[in-house]
Amino acid sequence: MLNDVTFGQYYPTKSFVHNMDPRAKIVFIIAYIVAIFLADNFFALAAVTLFLIVAVLFSRVPFGRVLRSVKMILFLIIFTAILNLFFYSSSEELHMIWEWKFISVSWEAIINMIFLAFRLFLLVMGTSILTLTTTPVALTDGIESLLTPLKWIRLPVHELALIMSIALRFIPTLMDETNRIVAAQKARGANFETGGLIKRAKAVVPILIPLLVSAFRRAEDLGDAMDARCYSGAKGRTKYKKLTFTWRDLIGLLLFAALIAGVVLLNTYLGGKFEIIGYFVK
């Protein structure tokens, strides 16, 4: 059921991306998201797609593993695309294809639907590379280091980074637990695949209750383990491994700067995403 969930899982291997500084990878992911939302036409999105393919190749993570990260939000992508298709207001009546009361379909709506779905697709695939190539410990250290200036306003940076890391670490664990609970309920005769929406919603209750109990039990065990190891927060803690920027991070910085500059240039000289309508509508 949930065996293909990859978000929060680490793919162990040796690659250019794996050896990069976690702080740099977090900053680069933010720059990648900025580039996606700066892209205003399909040519700019194609440049972002090419950059993503190169990043996956350099990470040495199988493409199938990265593609599976989209599976969990596929319904959300389709649902959002359908809403944009039927409720997008067209600026040109000549581009209208079909209209009924307050629902309409236009060429602008179709283009916007494809553009939005592709943008969400790239967004999920790009962010999944961060967790696939960075261990939870390294991710915690990177987040804590980047948020260090917030200590001046007495924000518990270390604890915040630890909470985020534990949340990411427990995603695949809870997915495995969900699979075990579903298998156990099916062995008892539960049916999760037939019936209407209300029946399926009721069938989820026997999964949620034991899952919540298991999650609280794991949280309690983790708290006991941290107490047994005398964990007391950031006070007096030292780092076994120091984070350092290397030549890999410099190359990544130059590549991301080139990506954002290329997206801006493509937006400037090739117009918006609706320019393609001219090829279909006279």
All structural domains of the chain with their residue ranges: 1-156+242-282, 169-233
Q: What is the mean pLDDT of the chain?
A: 80
CA–CA separation, 132 and 119 (whole Å)? 20
- Coil, strand, or helix at residue 236? coil
Mean pLDDT of 197-220: 82
Query: 15-30 in b/e burial notation, b at 16+ Cβ within 10 A?
Result: eebbebbbbbbbbbbe
Cα radius of gyration (the chain): 23
Which pTM value belongs to this model? 0.76
Q: In the beta sheet, which residues pair with residue 99?
A: 104
CA–CA separation, 192 and 182 (whole Å)? 9
What are the pLDDT digits (tens) for 92-144?
A: 554 666 666 656 666 677 787 888 888 888 988 888 888 889 887 888 888 88
Query: Can you give the pLDDT at residue 33?
Result: 92
Query: Can you give the pLDDT at residue 87?
Result: 65
Give the phi and the psi of residue 98 in degrees, each rounded to 5.
-150, 145
CA–CA separation, 16 and 9 (whole Å)? 18
Provide the percentage of residues in the chain whose pLDDT is more than 90: 11
| Strongest mean pLDDT among 36-45, 152-161, 191-200 | 36-45
State yes or no: pLDDT of 274 exceeds 70: no
State yes or no: pLDDT of 91 exceeds 90: no
Give me the DSSP letters along 63-120. HHHHHGGGGGGHHHHHHHHHHHHHHPPPS-GGGEEEEETTEEEEHHHHHHHHHHHHHH
State yes or no: pLDDT of 251 exceeds 80: yes
> How does residue 234 score in pLDDT terms, banded at 50, 70 and 90?
low
State yes or no: pLDDT of 157 exceeds 70: yes
Hey, how many other C-beta atoms are within 10 angstroms of the C-beta on 35? 23
What are the pLDDT digits (tens) for 23-64?
A: 999 999 999 999 998 888 888 888 999 999 999 999 998 888
Provide the percentage of residues in the chain whose pLDDT is more than 70: 81
Query: Can you give the pLDDT at residue 282?
Result: 45
Question: Which of 21 and 193 is assigned the larger pLDDT?
Answer: 21
CA–CA separation, 57 and 16 (whole Å)? 9
Query: Can you give the pLDDT at residue 236?
Result: 67
Query: Can you give the pLDDT at residue 102?
Result: 58
Q: Using alpha carbons, select from 47, 32, 31, 33 the residue that is nearest to residue 270.
A: 47
Q: Using alpha carbons, select from 140, 128, 148, 151 the residue that is nearest to residue 69.
A: 128
State yes or no: pLDDT of 89 exceeds 90: no
CA–CA separation, 219 and 221 (whole Å)? 5
| Strongest mean pLDDT among 132-136, 139-143, 200-204, 254-258 | 254-258
Mean pLDDT of 270-276: 62
Query: Can you give the pLDDT at residue 125?
Result: 87
Query: Can you give the pLDDT at residue 169?
Result: 75
Query: 140-167 in b/e burial notation, b at 16+ Cβ within 10 A?
Result: bbbbbbbeeeeeeeeeebbeebbeebee
Query: Can you give the pLDDT at residue 1?
Result: 46
Q: Judge residue 205's burial from the number of C-beta atoms within 10 Å of its C-beta, 0-12 exposed, 13-18 middle, 19 or more buried.
A: exposed
State yes or no: pLDDT of 246 exceeds 50: yes
Asked whether the beta carbons of 80 and 116 are under 8 A apart, the reply is yes
